[in-house]
Structure formats: C-alpha cells, structure tokens
Amino acid sequence: MAPISVGDSLPDGQLGWFDENDQLQQVSIHSLAAGKKVILFGVPGAFTPTCSNQHVPGFITQAEQLKAKGVDEILLISVNDPFVMKAWAKTYPENKHVKFLADGVGTYTKALGLELDLTEKGLGVRSRRFALLADNLKVTVANIEEGGQFTISGAEEILKAL
C-alpha cells in the first residue's frame, strides 16, 4: 500500500490510550480529529534514542506555539502496547498537550501505509518516522522520513507549514 499523502483522508482506527483518570481507553482517530486541525506524528519505538531525545520533546516544547497557530490536537502514535506508552508519557512530566497513543500490533500504522520492518534489528514491524497535519481529517502536510532519518518530521517543520 502506498503511504498516506497530501489530499488523502485519515483512515479511522482504534488506538489504546490512558486518559486523564488513568483509565485505559480505546479511542478512534476520527473521534479525535474530525472537525479539527490535528498533528499526527509517529515514531519507530518508545524509549528509543531519537524518538525520546529529539522527536517527542520537540512537540512537547513547541505545543503552545502549535496550539497558537490553530492546532487542536497533537497525537503521537507508536507500535507499542498502551502500558509502554503510558510509562513513556510519564517520562515527560512537563507534557500538557501530546497524547501518547498505542498502535499495539501496527494495524493503524499499516492503514496509513507507514509500516517499517525492523525485524533484522530485533524490533519487528514498527512505524516509519512521520508527521502529518490534517484539517477535518484531510491531510494537508505529510512529512515522512526515509530509513532512520529525522530531518522533516519534527515540530519545527510543522510550525513552518502552519
């Protein structure tokens, strides 16, 4: 399947998320994104160096600026279970706006056409690194990285596009 691109609609899908009451929920992407401007960004794995030290912190520190430019939701997706995503989220106590969503077996990542086979590295099938900007479910920016790069999917690039 071809990767999602500008002009495409975000597919719906269910992802795991621990809400503000620490209750595990299954949440639909459409329920979070319909009628809103959202950033959906994906990383290959929780607790991995580039994801943890650069990609995620960028969206956390830039969240207020992104919101000031009209972004309603900032959604992080990783092919990990919800308990790992919850533990990872807790390592960012300053986070107020990024939702850590779990795509347990990569079903949603596959629907986006953004799966990355890291089996040779012992990680199984994960997500490519990406950042999408969508307005009422329609993709307006699709910054999808090649290989292990981190050059176009950061918060700064999305800020430039707003």
Annotated catalytic sites, by residue?
Answer: 51
Q: Which of 99, 138, 115, 112 is nearest to 45 (CA)?
A: 115
Q: Which residues contact 158 (CB under 8 A, 6 or more apart)?
A: 39, 66, 131, 133, 141, 143
C-alpha distance across the termini of the chain, in Å: 28
Helix (H, G, I), strand (E, B) or coil at 93: coil
113 close to 78: Cβ distance less than 8 angstroms: no
Cα separations (Å) of 156 from 3, 58, 124, 144? 22, 8, 29, 14
